[in-house]
């Protein structure tokens, strides 16, 4: 049996938040989740500048007040002076989840050599998993879904594959996915029977 999940989507960009360009981060996140999730979900969206106090306050509000079990951020993970998303994320986290950043950089190296410049982190705050994704809108699908060969076969599994089980272990809602987009990996004992 699946359960409703509230997901925080945070686009962190100076230029998108002040209107110099249109934000493509939140639409890209919504688009991918709309294709990937088969269990019920709703989004809380925020478009904010690269200001560390604003990022921290936004993450705290979405986790502690809005009740998001998962928060995905996009933007502000590079080496520029204004890129402070990882620092803000680590500051509000109780536990770091280093596998996410390690795996995203490995996946992204299949697309761009500059993937090593990306400093993404993931943390758990209370009952909320917070994951930083890179800022390039196309990198959202790339990191969540992984790498496919020309015939469509998955050659490097995306980071979302492990995320529903992580949320299970944190005591959150049971999230299900469309296996054609991303297969949610759980040990056999943790898989609930599908309902018609």
Ligand X SMILES: Nc1nc2c(c(=O)[nH]1)N[C@H]1C(S)=C(S)[C@@H](COP(=O)(O)O)O[C@H]1N2
List residues near ligand X by CB under 6 A. Answer: 75-78, 83, 108, 111-112, 114-115, 117-118, 134-136, 138-139, 142-143
CB of 114 or CB of 169, closer to ligand X: 114
For ligand ATP, which residue of 8, 25, 86, 101 counts as binding (CB under 6 A)?
A: 25
- By CB under 6 A, the residues from 47 to 106 that bind ligand ATP are 50, 75-76, 78, 80, 82-83
Choose from ligand X, ligand ATP, none: what does 124 bind? Cβ within 5-8 Å by kind: none
CB of 105 or CB of 127, closer to ligand ATP: 105
Q: Do 63 and 71 form a contact (C-beta atoms < 8 A)?
A: yes
CB of 58 or CB of 118, closer to ligand X: 118
Can you name the residues that pair with 37 across neighbouring β-strands? 177
Cα–Cα distances (Å) from 17 to 61, 63, 104, 137, 156, in that order, read 18, 21, 25, 15, 33
For ligand ATP, which residue of 7, 23, 72, 142 counts as binding (CB under 6 A)?
A: 23
Among the listed residues 39, 40, 50, 65, the one whose alpha carbon sits nearest the alpha carbon of residue 10:
50
CB of 8 or CB of 101, closer to ligand X: 101
**What's the closest the beta carbon of residue 72 comes to ligand X, in angstroms?**
13
Its sign, for the CA torsion 158, 173, 73, 84, is negative
- Counting Cα atoms < 13 Å in the Cβ hemisphere of 160 gives 26
Residue 191 tokens, joined: 């898989």
Of all residues in the shown chain, the one whose CB is closest to ligand ATP is: 135
- Beta strand 154-157 pairing with 146-148: antiparallel
Choose from ligand X, ligand ATP, none: what does 13 bind? Cβ within 5-8 Å by kind: ligand ATP
Residue 82 tokens, joined: 């204004």
CB of 50 or CB of 176, closer to ligand ATP: 50
Q: Do 11 and 74 form a contact (C-beta atoms < 8 A)?
A: yes
Choose from ligand ATP, ligand X, none: what does 27 bind? Cβ within 5-8 Å by kind: none
CA distance linking residue 74 with residue 76, whole number of Å: 7
Interface residues toward ligand ATP, by CB under 6 A? 11, 13-16, 21, 23-25, 50, 75-76, 78, 80, 82-83, 135-137
């Amino acid at each position: 049996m699946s359960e409703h999940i509230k997901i925080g989507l945070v686009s962190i960009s100076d230029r998108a938040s002040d209107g110099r360009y249109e934000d493509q981060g939140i639409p890209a996140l919504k688009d991918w989740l709309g294709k990937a999730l088969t269990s019920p979900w709703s989004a809380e969206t925020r478009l904010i500048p690269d200001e560390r106090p604003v990022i921290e306050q936004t993450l705290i509000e979405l986790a502690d007040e809005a009740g998001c079990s998962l928060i995905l951020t996009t933007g502000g993970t590079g080496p520029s002076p204004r890129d402070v998303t990882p620092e803000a994320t680590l500051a509000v986290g109780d536990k770091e989840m280093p596998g996410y950043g390690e795996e995203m950089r490995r996946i992204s190296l299949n697309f761009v050599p500059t993937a090593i410049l990306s400093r993404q982190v993931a943390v758990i705050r209370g009952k909320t998993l917070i994951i930083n994704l890179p800022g390039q809108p196309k990198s959202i699908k790339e990191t969540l879904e992984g790498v496919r060969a020309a015939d469509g076969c998955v050659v490097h599994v995306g980071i979302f594959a492990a995320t529903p089980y992580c949320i299970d272990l944190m005591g959150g809602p049971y999230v299900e996915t469309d296996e054609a987009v991303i297969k949610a990996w759980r040990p056999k004992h943790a898989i609930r029977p599908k309902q018609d």
